[in-house]
């Protein structure tokens, strides 16, 4: 099983899946899923001539489950360990939802020496939490409610969460819902809880100011989990020269529901 060992105060093993040859593209999954959410993108990118590396965040999928380190400074350090241990250069890094925070904090802390392009896909930056200097954000009670729901009954919470993730009506998408819940069920309960605090409370605005590579911001305009107006639209405004692609009618989980459209956008951006 391909893994790397992370460094720092809460070291763990990170599992990664690799397919294809060519320029590297690193895919960073969303909460509360795993690298398996990228199934369609991995195939499309590898067939197009890219070396695709999709890894599981600490606490999720097949990676280790340490008792700490569920914060974006540590997540970025984990990504840096992956980049350096695999000696990835001229790479594109793509983060979906929570994974967009890794992209932002990695560039903010480690720069762009090893990367040539970045993608924020339905991503949480620049800052989700509503504060005095971020009035467009989401009220803290929303994240408190999520945290309370996961602590009380994680399985029941996930049952009600995923239909809104994909904008599904009752009875729709049962296989997709089952696949998603299977990924989320396997995650560490501790990681599932603490990541809500991480993606809900972390301010990435200073990180976005350090972007100096071509950046694709892609977002569904029907996203009920991370609304376009709060996130993707504002990230595009903050990242000089970024490219905004709004996927009409797409929900948060558009990597699955609008896979062909997203794959085409990613390949067009990578090939430019």
Q: Which of 56, 78, 207, 223 is catalytic?
A: 223
Q: What's the mean per-residue pLDDT of the chain?
A: 98
7 noted as active-site residue? no
Give residue-wise pLDDT tens across range 18-55: 999 999 999 999 999 999 999 999 999 999 999 999 99
Cβ atoms within 10 Å, residue 176: 16
State yes or no: is 252 an active-site residue: yes
How many distinct helices (H) and strands (E) make up the chain? 10, 8
Q: Note the pLDDT of residue 8.
A: 87
Give me the catalytic one of 34, 63, 97, 242: 97
Backbone φ/ψ region at 227: left (φ over 0), alpha (ψ -120 to 50), beta: beta
Q: What share of the chain is helix, strand, coil (3-state, %, to 5)?
A: 45, 20, 40
pLDDT digits (tens, 9 = 90+) for 79-102: 999 999 999 999 999 999 999 999
Q: What percent of the chain has pLDDT over 90?
A: 98
Cβ neighbours of residue 208 closer than 8 Å, sequence gap 6 or more? 104, 108, 125, 126, 235, 238, 239
- Distance from C-alpha of 68 to C-alpha of 268, rounded to nearest angstrom: 38
Side-chain-side CA neighbours of 164 within 13 Å: the count stands at 9
Q: Which residue has the higher pLDDT, 8 or 155?
A: 155
pTM of the model: 0.98
Active site residue 97: yes
Pairing status of strand 50-55 against strand 13-19:
antiparallel
Range of the domain at 263: 3-271
Residues in Cβ contact with 12 at an 8 Å cutoff, skipping those fewer than 6 apart: 5, 6, 58, 63, 64, 65, 66, 69
* CATH code, domain carrying 87: 3.40.50.1820
Report the number of distinct structural domains present in the chain: 1
- The tokens describing 208, both together, are 């976005």
Give pLDDT tens digits for 124-136.
Answer: 999 999 999 999 9
Which residues, at least 6 apart from 11, have a Cβ–Cβ distance to it below 8 Å? 5, 66
User: What pLDDT digit, counting tens, does each position of 177-229 carry?
Assistant: 999 999 999 999 999 999 999 999 999 999 999 999 999 999 999 999 999 99
| Residue 1's pLDDT band (cuts 50, 70, 90) | confident
Encoding tokens for residue 103? 């992209």
Task: Using alpha carbons, select from 62, 59, 106, 101 the residue that is nearest to residue 80.
Answer: 106
Catalytic residue among 35, 219, 236, 252: 252
Enclosing H/E stretch for 96: strand 91-96
Query: Using CA atoms, how far apart are residues 31 and 184, in angstroms rounded to an integer?
Result: 8
């Amino acid at each position: 099983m391909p893994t790397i060992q992370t460094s720092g105060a809460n070291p763990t093993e990170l599992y990664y899946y690799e397919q294809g040859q060519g320029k590297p593209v690193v895919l960073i999954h969303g909460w509360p899923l795993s690298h398996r959410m990228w199934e369609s993108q991995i195939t499309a990118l590898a067939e197009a001539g890219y070396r695709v590396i999709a890894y599981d965040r600490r606490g999720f999928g097949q990676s280790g489950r340490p008792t700490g380190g569920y914060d974006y400074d540590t997540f970025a350090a984990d990504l840096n360990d992956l980049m350096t241990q695999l000696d990835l250069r001229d790479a594109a890094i793509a983060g979906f939802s929570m994974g967009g925070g890794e992209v932002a904090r990695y560039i903010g802390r480690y720069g762009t020496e090893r990367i040539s392009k970045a993608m924020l896909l339905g991503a949480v930056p620049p800052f989700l939490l509503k504060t005095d200097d971020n009035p467009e954000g989401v009220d803290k009670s929303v994240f408190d409610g999520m945290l309370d729901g996961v602590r009380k009954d994680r399985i029941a919470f996930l049952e009600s969460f995923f239909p809104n993730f994909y904008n599904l009506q009752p009875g729709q998408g049962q296989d997709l819902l089952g696949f998603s819940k299977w990924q989320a069920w396997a995650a560490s309960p501790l990681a599932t809880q603490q990541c809500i605090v991480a993606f809900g409370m972390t301010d990435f605005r200073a990180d976005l100011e350090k972007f100096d590579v071509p950046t694709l911001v892609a977002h569904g305009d029907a996203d009920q989990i991370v609304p376009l107006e709060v996130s993707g639209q504002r990230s595009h405004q903050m990242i000089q020269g970024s490219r905004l692609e709004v996927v009409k009618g797409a929900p948060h989980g558009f990597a699955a529901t609008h896979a062909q459209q997203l794959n085409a956008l990613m390949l067009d951006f990578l090939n430019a």
